[in-house]
Structure formats: C-alpha cells, structure tokens
Amino acid sequence: MFKRILLPVDLTDRHRKAVEVAAELAVQGKAVVTLFHVIETIAGLPMTEEPDFYRRLERVARSHFGPWGKQLEEHAVTWQAEVRYGDRARETVRYAMETANDLILLTAPRIDPANPAAGWGSLSYKIGILSPCPVLLVK
C-alpha cells in the first residue's frame, strides 16, 4: 500500500472528504500524510522585496493545517505540514519527487456541466499529467 501520501490543500474548507480518504488509506498502509500548500509568488516581484507579505501568507496557510491535522489524528494517522512558494502544480510535483511520495491525493475541481472542458486546465489535471506517482481525485 501507500507509505507517503501528499495531500495538497488550499485555504478553503472543501477538503474534508479528501482528508477522510487520505486517513483511510494511511491507516491501511501505516502511511504518513503530508498536508501541502503552495503560496503563489507574484511574477516579477522577488520575495525579498515583500518578505512581510509572504510571511503573513505562510502564517495563514499554516493555521489552516490544524483542523485537517486534527481530522487525521482522529484516525491515529501521522501527519506533517509543508509550505512551499512558486507555481502550485510545479512545486507539488517537485515536492512529490523530492520526498518519494507514492500517492498524491487531490480534491477534484468543481466542473461546470455546461462547460466541462474548462476543467482541463485545472490544477488537478496539471498534477495528474506531470506526477511521477499515482494521483487520486476525490469528489
């Protein structure tokens, strides 16, 4: 089974089901779950020019890990948190490769039934194409 599960999350509350699935899989394989968030950087503006701005964003991101971590702990799952900066798809795939994750578990994007092709450019689609490991989308 899976030993290292990467769970990218944003700052919304829509990840409850994905966290639940991650917990179930982690229990089965005695896996570690990494809650992962990427802070998009502003193109053309070096982070060194706005360090306070990026520190505030990181503090907010880390504060959102608590409820998801608590949900994992309720299942006795070991978890950790990681914040990176840059392009979300690229940094997620890079981190998965660097840390030898064997599953990336994502919350599926909401698709507009009137325009389903719009989802082809979603973050989950990009990660699915670029990922070195299996990707599981949770609805």
Q: What is the pLDDT, as a whole number, of residue 136? A: 97
> Which of 30-33's residues contact partners 24+ apart within 8 Å by CB, and which partners?
30/3, 31/1, 31/2, 31/3, 31/4, 31/5, 31/77, 32/3, 32/4, 32/5, 32/78, 32/79, 32/80, 33/5, 33/7, 33/72, 33/77, 33/78, 33/79, 33/80
Question: Count of domains in the chain?
Answer: 1
Q: Among the residues of the chain, which ranges form H helices? A: 16-29, 51-73, 88-98, 123-130
The owner of tokens 């299996």 is 134
Q: What is the pLDDT, as a whole number, of residue 118? A: 67
Q: What is the pLDDT, as a whole number, of residue 27? A: 97
Digit-by-digit pLDDT tens for the chain (139 residues) are 899 999 999 998 899 999 999 999 999 999 999 999 999 999 888 889 999 999 999 999 999 999 999 999 999 999 999 999 999 999 999 999 999 999 999 998 877 778 777 666 788 889 999 999 999 999 8
User: How far is residue 50's CA from residue 54's CA, in Å, rounded to a whole number?
Assistant: 7
Q: What range defines the domain where residue 64 resides?
A: 4-138
CATH code of 8's domain: 3.40.50.620
Q: What's the burial of 6, exposed, middle or buried (CB within 10 Å: 0-12/13-18/19+)? A: buried
